[in-house]
Amino acid sequence: MADDIYWQAIIEHDSAFNFQFYYGVKTTRIFCHASCKSKTPLRKNVIYFDSIALAQADGYRACKRCQPDRNAQQDTGLIRLLHACKIIEQHNEGSLTALQLAHSIGITQFQINRIFKKYLDVTPKSYIDQVQLNSLKKNLRASDNVSQAIYQSGIESSSVIYGRMNSHLGMTPKKYLKGGDGVTISYAVGETHLGLVLIAATDKGLSFLQFGDTKHQLLAQLVAEYPRAEISLMAEKSAPQLHHWLSLLNLYLAGCSTELNLPLDIRATAFQKKVWDFLRTIPYGEMMSYGEIAQAIGSPKAYRAVANACASNNVALVIPCHRVISGDGALGGYRWGQGRKRLIIDIEVKKIS
């Protein structure tokens, strides 16, 4: 199952899987990130590695295009964190302790505690508890058998649910920071009506706003988008600003507000900027096709490029790519899933009707 998931990530160049695994090409002896834009190799020639060290130990060289070793050299702590998170989220057999987790990635318990505190502001134990609780909720929705759901969630006994797990119902809503070369961006994760959202910003404005299913996945996407930035938790003094932005998002998603005029500080090509600027002029509750947008910006044959620009949008809702649909009236793709796109469109249409 893992091989199938990894292979699909390679085919789709999915940056959410960066740092979760690396793939090597047996014919070239080169290893890459999942998101590498190089030509997709034959599946029979692909081998997977859990870490850069394992790939290098097996005689593989880092790809010069996606440079998987570059980020590791800049922040080995973050690489270890993502590796540890992957182990936690894939673990479903009995208990998992912080000491076991530390040994599995070759560091001490003190080091693993320090890494989790630095980047997630929680202990490894708290993160393990939260992942298990989320898994339990998912399994309970899919099964009528409580004992089976508990077992499948990797929780050692039902007493844990009513004891230890009740004392930790979630991580702090503070989180992450990211940016480009020489840029510092503070980041945080919060809850919205569309699920988890990660917001990252410079002192000038939002650089990243994305929805996801796990905090680990969102952090991996952020790291992949801004691989050379300094990464740190959002400062306590910035918390009121974050809460304000989250409140605006939730008001918007509740149909109580029709505007999200938040400041932006984003990277874009000239064409992407032209498309994104136009998207922000599409009235609330209205939709346009990729072809109509291409026509409107003076590039009538560039509808595929318009679609790519929409898919590259890193700031959901604020740049309203959800208002772009297929020419035949179909919903079309959406970076954060068609379910979320349908929900947002329904909210807007209902508001104006």
- Known catalytic residues are 32, 321
Question: What is the pairing mode between strands 184-192 and 46-49?
Answer: unpaired
* Residue owning tokens 């996606």: 66
The conformational region for residue 285 under phi > 0 = left, psi -120 to 50 = alpha, else beta, is: left
HEC string for 36-81 = CCCCCCCHHHEEEECCHHHHHHCCCEECCCCCHHHHHHHCHHHHHH
Distance CA 115, CA 223 (A): 16
DSSP string over 220-272: HHHHHHSTTSEEEEPPGGGHHHHHHHHHHHHHHHTTS-S-----B-----HHH
Q: Judge contact between 76 and 51, C-beta under 8 A.
A: no
Backbone angles phi, psi at 300, to 5 degrees: -60, -20
Of 243, 249, 165, 248, nearest in space to 210 by CA:
249
In eight-state DSSP terms, residue 283 is: P
Q: What is the dihedral of CA 169, 172, 178, 182, to 10 degrees?
A: -150
CA–CA separation, 86 vs 78, rounded Å? Answer: 12
Decide: 198 and 210 in contact? Cβ < 8 Å: yes
Which residues, 6+ apart, have CB-to-CB distance to 28 below 8 Å? Answer: none
